[in-house]
Amino acid sequence: MSATPETGPDPLDIESPNHLLRWLEEQELAAPGEKIETSVLAGGVSNRTVRVQTGGRDLIVKQALARLRVEDEWFSPTDRILTEFAALGVYGSFLPGQVPEPVRQDPTRNIIAMAAVPEPHANWKTRLLQGFVDPGSWQEFGRMLAHIHDKARPQVDRLPARLQSKMHFHSLRLDPYYLVSGLRVPQAAGFMQNLVNAATNSRNTLVHGDYSPKNVLLQGRRLWLLDFEVSHVGTPWFDVGFALTHALAKALWSPLWRRQFLQGAEAFWSGYQHRSGRAVSQDGGEAAGCRHTVGCLLARAVGRSRLEYLDDAQLARQRSLALRLMANPPATIPDLIREFAGLLGET
């Protein structure tokens, strides 16, 4: 068969057991005819992801999708999965024992394999939505992010070439989050464009780009970090704003656990700030973090990737609160959290 840009030499689909076995054999990850056990992992919108047990090995195989699984038409080049493979080694050097080990990459079909995180573990987002809101995990989440930013900052020019490009950050974050939100809410267009410009021009440190509870597995007190396909050299404040948005949006979502999620936001910032030290003044400082948080709050309410646990009324409320904060953004993260809490009726 002739090759296509998105599927390589043939339309291989790793969610098909026969296709997956053929790929594993080609990559010498399974012997010909070997029996394998597979389970398709749900929850992601940008990749097919399958867990494989073969030959005593426990692997995760990922294949990037050209069109993401969302309501809007949203496309992104599938070679972003190779960015993830390059990032796995870098993040693993910063966080040994907290990042899956890279095993194999197939640049022709844009498929990668990595070691599975050892059992037992639980997805952090799932636990949060069940009401298990531990400030200690939020604090470690912030500390871990600051550690990544701090370790990467002196070596940004020496990071792999794939991490130097912002192409996938634009197609998966800046365009569908910030620019689409500006189109859908014209009064926010200038604010969002300024965020895009600042993020595009920054080369401060290594940015995860998808730093959220859904990409964290809890293993006791240890946090495992996943999903690096949007990683790039850029501004640390996108990661801070992206992460804080998840704590604040969940506070809006749940009146029952509102105070705990707000405390989680405070704990996240405490962990980040204490680990960062004076570096928090770089690249626009906390004020930039506040602006990215406000931008992400709006984007997750009206952009191409709206938060699925918010109903229509909650999405509308988050949109309204984001616009109110956007009119006069706070200058510090604690002030932002306090103002958001006040708008929710918490004091």
Given phi > 0 = left and psi -120 to 50 = alpha, else beta, which region is 184? alpha
Structure tokens at 347: 């004091």
Predicted model pTM: 0.94
Q: How do residues 114-124 score in pLDDT, each as one tens digit? A: 999 999 999 99
Query: At the top level of CATH, which class does the domain 122-343 belong to?
Result: alpha beta
pLDDT at 45: 77
**What percent of the chain is predicted at pLDDT more than 70?**
95
Please give the full DSSP string across 281-328, using - where no structure is assigned. Answer: GSTTHHHHHHHHHHHHHHHHHHSSS--TTS-HHHHHHHHHHHHHHHHS
Average pLDDT over residues 232-256: 99
Average pLDDT value for residue range 237-244 = 99
Helix (H) or strand (E) holding 217: strand 216-219
71 confidence band (pLDDT: 50, 70, 90): low
Residue 4 has pLDDT above 60, yes or no: no
Assess whether the region 17-115 and the region 122-343 belong to the same CATH fold: no
Q: Where are the domains of the chain?
A: 17-115, 122-343
C-alpha neighbours within 13 Å on the C-beta side of residue 238: 32
- The label of the residue with tokens 């464009």 reads 193
Q: Does the pLDDT at position 6 exceed 80?
A: no
In this structure, are residues 126 and 309 in contact, taking their beta carbons and an 8 Å threshold? Answer: no
The owner of tokens 């070596």 is 155
Instruction: Please report the pLDDT score of residue 209 as a whole number.
Output: 98
**CB neighbour burial string for 296-313, b if at least 16 within 10 angstroms, e if fewer:** bbbbbbbbbbbbeebeee
Write out the CATH class of domain 17-115: alpha beta
Lowest mean pLDDT among 36-45, 76-85, 196-205: 36-45
Is the confidence at residue 347, as pLDDT, over 70?
A: no
Segment 127-141 shows an average pLDDT of 98
pLDDT per position as a tens digit, 24-38:
999 999 998 888 999
Contacts of 228 by beta carbon, 8 Å cutoff, 6+ apart: 83, 84, 87, 88, 91, 208, 210
Q: How far apart, in whole angstroms, are the C-alpha atoms of residue 21 and residue 153? A: 40
Instruction: Kindly tell me if the per-residue pLDDT of 77 is higher than 90.
Output: no
Kindly state the average pLDDT of the residues 296-323. 98
Mean pLDDT of all residues in the chain?
A: 94
Calculate mean pLDDT across residues 77-101.
Answer: 97
One-character DSSP codes across 146-209: HHHHHHHGGGGGGS-HHHH--HHHIIIIIIIIIIHHHHHSGGGHHHHHHHHHHHHH--SEEE-S
Joined together, the tokens standing for residue 298 give 């709006």
Would the pLDDT of 7 be above 50? Answer: no
- Cα distances from 314 to residues 180, 183, 250, in angstroms, run 20, 21, 10
For the chain, counts of helices (H) and of strands (E) = 13, 10
